[in-house]
């Protein structure tokens, strides 16, 4: 039986870990070939191996999404290897300037007081913007250019955050970067709609990935978040991958410029 995105080509940044990896595996189950882009080659190749094990084509392109040349090279490599790009998931991101994926340094880091804007060095702010906002813009732009040139319809999915609408003390840079991604999504959506390229965003709540490892290690804090979540649990990467799959597929063909918040009701208001 044909999958929901059968034979489409997806580029996924941040595809070595967490939400990006879950999207890669879910998309492959539904028939897509996947270009995995990330800083981390070892874990990126693990994602590639899992995708190919499920019978789809996959390749890894080492990419620092905060570098314009890397974003353009990624788009070029995807087109050279697979002919065109139908889907982009821009999931590469950091929770704060010193975040290292998988090392328990998620959220605002160990020192909440140092993370407050009053104490935050400008270079920390700039690092988060460079990856989370400018990086998403440059990835979107590089892939959108190829989508438009191909004349095929496309779906771009930006991973924002619930932090795009809810201010989190200690995470001004993160919140502003994600709010920026939300607005970028809307503007780009209007600009490329005439080419049948759709652009939407996802604003996850707290999801069990390396990014929230530090938070989850603090039992009291994790319990407080679960208790404040109407659905009574943290999210799983598959929750976000299923949302991305909907936005990638034709089932969302009348969606553009939208953001969906899979957060168990946490940030509903
Ligand atoms: P994750 O497991 O840490 O995955 C993020 C991936 O992005 C890592 O593989 C990381 O590589 C990569 N990355 C970081 N900077 C990069 C760069 N400059 N260029 C290319 N790749 C880069 O975290 P995640 O939770 O899956 O996060 C994915 C996205 O979801 C992020 O944008 C995050 O802000 C967003 N999000 C997450 C949550 C949550 O609760 N987990 C909630 C809302 C939004 P390295 O390992 O090499 O650093």
* Residue 111 pLDDT greater than 80, yes or no: no
Residue nearest to ligand 1 atom 22, measured at CA: 92
Instruction: Report the distance separating Cα 27 and Cα 34, nearest Å.
Output: 8
**CATH architecture of structural domain 9-260:** 3-Layer(aba) Sandwich (3.40)
3-state secondary structure 209-223: CHHHHHHHHCHHHHH
pLDDT band at 166 (very low <50, low <70, confident <90, very high): very high
Residue from 224, 118, 99 nearest 172 by CA: 118
- Cβ(95)–Cβ(108) under 8 Å? yes
What number is the average pLDDT over the span 175-182? 98
Instruction: For 2-61, write each residue's pLDDT tens digit.
Output: 999 999 999 999 999 999 999 999 999 999 999 999 999 999 999 999 999 999 999 999
The β-bridge partners of 90 are 13, 158
Q: What is the token pair recorded at 183?
A: 């607005």
Q: Which pTM was predicted?
A: 0.98
pLDDT of residue 110: 62
Instruction: Report the distance separating Cα 139 and Cα 65, nearest Å.
Output: 7
Mutate to test the pocket of ligand 1, among 45, 61, 92 (most ligand atoms within 8 A of CB): 92
Q: Is the CB of 159 under 6 A from ligand 1?
A: yes
The whole-chain average pLDDT of the chain stands at: 96
Domain borders along the chain are 9-260
Instruction: Report the distance separating Cα 58 and Cα 35, nearest Å.
Output: 6
- Please tell me the least confidently modeled range out of 40-44, 216-220, 240-244: 216-220
Q: Is the CB of 109 under 6 A from ligand 1?
A: no
Q: Is the CB of 225 under 6 A from ligand 1?
A: no
Residue 191 CA, ligand 1 centroid: distance in Å: 27
pLDDT of residue 106: 65
pLDDT band at 75 (very low <50, low <70, confident <90, very high): very high
Residue 20 CA, ligand 1 centroid: distance in Å: 8
- Please tell me the least confidently modeled range out of 60-74, 78-92, 206-220: 206-220
């Amino acid at each position: 039986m044909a999958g929901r995105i059968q034979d489409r080509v997806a580029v996924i940044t941040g595809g070595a870990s967490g939400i990006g990896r879950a999207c890669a595996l879910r998309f492959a189950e539904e028939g897509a070939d996947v270009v995995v882009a990330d800083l981390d080659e070892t874990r990126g190749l693990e994602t590639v191996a899992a995708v190919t094990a499920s019978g789809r084509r996959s390749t890894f392109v080492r990419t620092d999404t905060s570098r314009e040349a890397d974003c353009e090279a990624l788009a070029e490599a995807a087109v050279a290897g697979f002919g065109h790009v139908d889907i982009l998931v821009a999931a590469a991101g950091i929770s704060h300037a010193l975040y290292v994926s998988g090392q328990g340094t998620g959220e605002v880091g160990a020192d909440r007081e140092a993370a407050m804007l009053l104490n935050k060095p400008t270079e920390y702010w700039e690092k988060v913007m460079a990856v989370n906002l400018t990086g998403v813009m440059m990835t979107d732009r590089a892939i959108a250019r190829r989508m438009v040139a191909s004349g095929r319809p496309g779906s771009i999915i930006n991973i924002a955050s619930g932090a795009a609408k809810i201010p989190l003390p200690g995470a001004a840079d993160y919140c502003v970067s994600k709010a920026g991604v939300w607005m970028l999504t809307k503007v780009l959506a209007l600009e490329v709609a005439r080419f049948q390229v759709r652009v939407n965003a996802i604003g996850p709540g707290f999801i069990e990935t390396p990014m929230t490892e530090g938070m989850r290690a603090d039992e009291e804090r994790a319990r407080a978040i679960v208790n404040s979540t109407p659905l009574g649990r943290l999210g799983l990467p598959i929750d976000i991958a299923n949302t991305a799959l909907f936005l990638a597929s034709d089932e969302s063909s009348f969606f553009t410029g939208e953001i969906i918040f899979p957060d168990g009701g946490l940030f509903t208001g």
